[in-house]
Amino acid sequence: MTSVKTESVSRKLEQIIDFRVGEEALTRHPIVAKKGMTPATDGHSVFLPEEESIFGSERDNELALANFTAHESDHIVEYGEYFEKDPSSFAETGSNAVQEYHQRNYAELTENPALAGWIDNVVKDHRIDSRRRQLSGVDRFYKETLNPATKYLRPSIVRMSELDAFREQFLQQTLIGETVESVPKEKKELLEEAVRLAKSSGSIQMDPEVVKQIYRRLKDNFDITQKISRLPPRYNTGDNSRTQGSPQQGYQGQTQPREGRDPNDKKPKQLSEKARDGKKLYEPDKDSKDKKGSGKDENEESTLDERGKEELYKRDRNALYTDLTEKHGIDICPVANCTDKKIQELLQKRKLQYAGEIESTRRIFRQLKLRHYGVKRDFEGAELDYEEFMQGELESKVTGVRRERRVFIKDTQNQQRPAWAVLADISPSTDPEYFNIIDGIKSSLLIQGEALGDSDYPFGLFAFSGDLYVLKDFTEKYSESVARKILSVRRSHDGTALAPSLEVVAGLLDRQLEQPKGITIITDGDANLGGDPRPVIQELYKRKIHPFLIVLGKEFEKYAKHLTGDIGNDHYVIVERDKLHELPGEMFRLFKTYGIAK
């Protein structure tokens, strides 16, 4: 018999709760094991299935229970941090921490509170899993056992509503790292944005803003007033629990594990025979496979050419740009993809010309990321699995003797993740007649983009004159099409509207959750449109969006001092017009100093 009764390993599970939540935590946070229960917590109790039998080996089933217990314990810790008190205290009032959390943060999302609660669960599950998977034993268990089983048991999206299908693929991509079926091309960009947002939340305090952003994106693209189906629990251990405390109104119907999937799918060897034979699982419709077919190659369906991506991206952001245009009085012009052969040839020429600078900057970015964003270090010797690691920690706690263990750990000095913008002046004063300023600016943007494109830092590239030109927004991936846009930029014949351009870019930065935030402003003269930029720069600084001015030409130093007078003269730097080759280095220095290493 490979199944494991929760009661038979209760002592080990209780030790995990005590270790992760705190000494004597078990007296406040008991384990509640019931038949058909999915792992959950209400901030007070840890809910587990009465037995685990999904895997073929007793050890895997026992490790699954240990994993569920640790996961829910970490949820309890987070709720304690959020409320700054033991979350079990809510039980005295007949409520629970999860209900209180949702009431405080999502009460206004009245169209579908169940949807908000469901998104919140996915966001929290991803963060907690990511932290725990920094231990090699845990990560290996996920990769080799949990994730293959989870992927096999997820339902098909073929018979789902459009909203439920998106939810299912959002869950799969966020928590498993891949989707079972190809993503509809018209939803691919939206899914990427939603997953990126879900992964950006670094704490329970950040979750409400992330959840609301995802909720709003779904509201913009689906009818969220419709009732949603109860998707199978992540690990398919039982029915969805109502004990978590998240909003329940808005659900209708239940989707079963493997519903609509091909019965001939290859089954992971880790699953038990009961699970592998499909017992207790939904038997797919005979017609489901036919319904799924569309006559098109699946790879073709899931692939977007660059032009298709451009059009979809433009449509998704159009409403936001319209709002910002009306608010700040400046036209926002996304730069179209350039397919001109001359630009393509120029791009290859510039890449060869600046290959050394690009590679050098990339290498430094990688080193900085390892140093300041977190590096994983593998000590010599055999890696320990999760159970052995937990036992070692418990022994150390009891005996006071630090046990020497060889594990995969994360050595992190600084977990900040910057969001940065570059705003470049292309007004008439950048005329290339004497110093070729516009070419120097474009080359600098190209070097910065090529170097940062290999990182996961969100960054935006913008140009301005009387209008604001979007070369790359923060949610867009850097690609050759972005590089071609940079090189296709030409000197504008309008004036210099720095103030409204700054306000728009800051508005886009406000939507990013990363910290710190900054804007590098490259200009070669006074702003003559849209008002004085000085109060805007001061306001950005107060909002913790750090503006840095790179002024091209010593004669404009007085103007630079005027703009940065309220925030400090360390916020500007002068690059002589006959030394434009120094511009990429200054841009990199500002990002490195104030974005990563600060």
pLDDT in tens, 442-459: 999 999 898 888 777 889
In this prediction, residues 167-194 reach a mean pLDDT of: 94
Higher pLDDT, 137 or 540: 540
pLDDT tens for each residue of 400-432 = 555 554 444 444 444 567 889 999 998 866 555
Residue spans of the domains in the chain: they are 4-285, 327-366+415-596
Token pair in block for residue 436 = 């070729």
Higher pLDDT, 390 or 214: 214
pLDDT, residue 395, reads 57
Place 46 in a pLDDT band, splitting at 50, 70 and 90: very high
Phi, psi of 590 (to 5 degrees): -65, -45
Q: Mean pLDDT lowest for which of 62-66, 81-85, 146-150, 384-388?
A: 384-388
Place 373 in a pLDDT band, splitting at 50, 70 and 90: very low
Write b or e for each residue in 111-126: b if 16 or more Cβ atoms lie within 10 A of its Cβ, otherwise e: ebbbbbbbbbbbbbbb
pLDDT, residue 512, reads 81
pLDDT, residue 430, reads 52
pLDDT tens for each residue of 225-257 = 888 888 888 764 433 334 344 455 567 778 888
Q: Mean pLDDT lowest for which of 139-153, 382-396, 545-559?
A: 382-396
pLDDT, residue 87, reads 84
Residues 6+ apart with CB under 8 A from 18: 24, 25, 26
pLDDT, residue 290, reads 38
pLDDT, residue 274, reads 64
CB atoms within 10 A of CB 373: 18
pLDDT, residue 548, reads 93
Instruction: Tell me: pLDDT of 502 over 50.
Output: yes
Q: How do strand 31-34 and strand 545-552 relate by DSSP bridges?
A: unpaired
Higher pLDDT, 589 or 208: 208
pLDDT, residue 414, reads 45
Taking the C-alpha atoms of residue 564 and residue 535, their distance in angstroms, rounded to an integer, is: 10
Higher pLDDT, 60 or 296: 60
pLDDT tens for each residue of 96-134 = 898 889 989 998 898 988 899 999 999 999 999 998 888
Distance of CA 503 to the CA centre of its chain: 25
pLDDT, residue 127, reads 94
List, in sequence order, the alpha helices (H) in 329-385. 341-353, 355-372
Higher pLDDT, 426 or 27: 426
What is the overall mean pLDDT for the chain? 80
Taking the C-alpha atoms of residue 449 and residue 447, their distance in angstroms, rounded to an integer, is: 5
**Which of 3.40.50.720, 3.30.1540.10, 3.40.50.410, 3.60.15.10 is the CATH number of 327-366+415-596?**
3.40.50.410
Q: Report the candidate in 119, 118, 141 with the shortest Cα–Cα distance to residue 129.
A: 141
Place 195 in a pLDDT band, splitting at 50, 70 and 90: very high
Instruction: Tell me: pLDDT of 11 over 60.
Output: yes
pLDDT tens for each residue of 250-285 = 677 788 888 888 888 888 888 876 665 444 433 333
pLDDT, residue 452, reads 85
Tell me 55's DSSP state: B
In this prediction, residues 508-534 reach a mean pLDDT of: 85
Taking the C-alpha atoms of residue 103 and residue 359, their distance in angstroms, rounded to an integer, is: 50
Token pair in block for residue 176 = 């498993």
Residue in the structure block whose two tokens are 């048991």: 153
In this prediction, residues 528-557 reach a mean pLDDT of: 90
In this prediction, residues 338-345 reach a mean pLDDT of: 90
Distances (CA, A) of 314 to 319, 335, 339, 405, 470: 9, 10, 17, 52, 11
pLDDT, residue 388, reads 55
Instruction: Tell me: pLDDT of 496 over 80.
Output: yes
357-361 LR contacts (CB < 8 Å, sep 24+): 357/447, 357/584, 358/447, 358/450, 358/451, 361/447, 361/448, 361/450, 361/451, 361/584, 361/588
In 465-570, where do the E strands start and end? 468-472, 517-523, 545-552
Residues 268, 129, 388, 59, Cα dihedral to 10°:
-30
- Helix/strand/coil for 464: strand
- What is the DSSP secondary-structure string of 377-421? EE-SSPPP-HHHHHHHHHHHHHH--------EEEE-S---B-EEE
Place 593 in a pLDDT band, splitting at 50, 70 and 90: confident
pLDDT, residue 91, reads 72
Burial of 304 (0-12, 13-18, 19+ CB in 10 A): middle
pLDDT, residue 239, reads 38
In this prediction, residues 81-98 reach a mean pLDDT of: 82
Interior angle at CA 145, CA 385 and CA 272, nearest 5: 120
Taking the C-alpha atoms of residue 49 and residue 433, their distance in angstroms, rounded to an integer, is: 75
